Amino acid sequence: MTYIYVHGTESVEVKHLKLSGPRGTTKSQNELQRTSTEKRLSTLEKNIEKLEEKFAMLADRFVAFEKQISLLLIPAGYDTLFAMSGRSIENPDTNLTTVKDNTNSKTIVDEAIEEKWSMEIQQNLVEEIECCLMVGRKSKANFCLRTLKLMMTSPSGPCTDDVMKTCDDYVDSSSYIRALILLQCVSNLYKIDADPTKAIRGINECNHKTMQIIGRLVQQGGSMLPIARSFGIGCIEKLLYDLRSVTGIDEYIKVLYEALSLNNIGYSCDDVGEYRKAIEFYKEGMNILSEQFKSDANKYRVFGDLHNNSGISYYNMGNSEEARKFYLIALECYKEASDWESVDVKEEEISITRNNLEMTEELVGKKNA
């Protein structure tokens, strides 16, 4: 086990003392230092052993807590289903029944249990996480979210498409927090998909939907704004981590999707009023595109989007001069880009950026007047 000790920012003053024994037995400075170092190492080893014991105890407690929360979330009547299948609630993985369906190795009751687990228990956990976020219990919310992810990525977990459909239903009913929660789980399912192309596209879709939901939470305002700023931004940043963890895909494709994700994160940061943070994400997107494609980076629309959105964030910060520079670059990038969905979309984006530029130049003119 490796331990990393991180010191704070305060300086540590080390005083070197002149040590000596009785006359004729004066120790050399090297010997004193060696003895002192050996004592410190011995103390550290003992402390490490104590920490290892505490970590082991915490791990055992964590497993126990997971088991308790699973039992607490079992709906009424579930004990009957377990009894019918020959299982024990204390050990649900043990199946003692020998009655099998003719066409399947599992019993019919087993299938019923798995269906309930992937739907009812999932819904209970999602509601619990939402309640915890609403009352500011972030630690419990994160614990329940971890439990939900583990459940959904288990062999008996739900289909990715089914979870995405439930997520869309939540959005349609304005249950935005629940949708954010499930998008984290969907991304987790895509991350373990055997097809890297499907995985990276799926995670990118989760990223885009999360960006839209954060915008809607901001529009709702009130108690939804701090949730968008903390939980929402945390979710969309986690999706970037998921996307970067995908392997086995062409690097240039991965870089493009990463740039799209960084643009979405920056957009969300701007939505919640964190303009400097937004600009940092936009810059990171520009940098990875420039490193990968060199002078051909402007052939991709997202390169123009990153510049245009940087201009918006600078404008929102009151820096109209810097905003103007980025709008001008964005216009040039849009003209050079060759991956537009259609000519109409290209003209629309160029028109929007020109309007942004005109508003900014008007503001600059007033300041200089």
Tell me if 307 is assigned to some domain: no
- 276-301 pLDDT, tens digit per residue, is 999 999 999 999 999 999 999 999 99
Tell me if 164 is assigned to some domain: no
Query: What's the CA angle centered on 56, arms 55 and 57, to 5 degrees?
Result: 90
Residue 21: is its pLDDT beyond 70? no
Q: What is the pLDDT of residue 52?
A: 72
Tell me if 71 is assigned to some domain: yes
Query: Among candidates 206, 201, 208, which has minimal Cα distance to 183?
Result: 206
Tell me if 355 is assigned to some domain: no
pLDDT band at residue 306 under the 50/70/90 scheme: very high
3-state secondary structure of 75: coil
Cα gap 205→105, rounded to integer Å: 36
Residue 133 neighbours by CB under 8 Å, 6+ apart: 141, 177, 227, 231
Do 357 and 328 meet the contact criterion of CB atoms below 8 Å apart?
yes
Tell me if 363 is assigned to some domain: no
Domain total of the chain: 1
- 190-220 pLDDT, tens digit per residue, is 999 999 999 999 999 999 999 999 999 999 9
Look at 136 and 178; give whichever has higher pLDDT. Answer: 178
Tell me if 54 is assigned to some domain: no
Residue 93: is its pLDDT beyond 50? no
Write the single-letter amino acid at 123: Q
Residue 99: is its pLDDT beyond 50? no
C-alpha dist (Å) from residue 134 to 120, 138, 222: 21, 9, 12
Tell me if 47 is assigned to some domain: no
Gyration radius (Cα) of the chain, Å: 28
Cα gap 143→192, rounded to integer Å: 21
Cα gap 201→290, rounded to integer Å: 22
**Mean predicted confidence (pLDDT) in 107-125:** 57
Q: Which residue range(s) make up the domain with 90?
A: 61-96+105-153
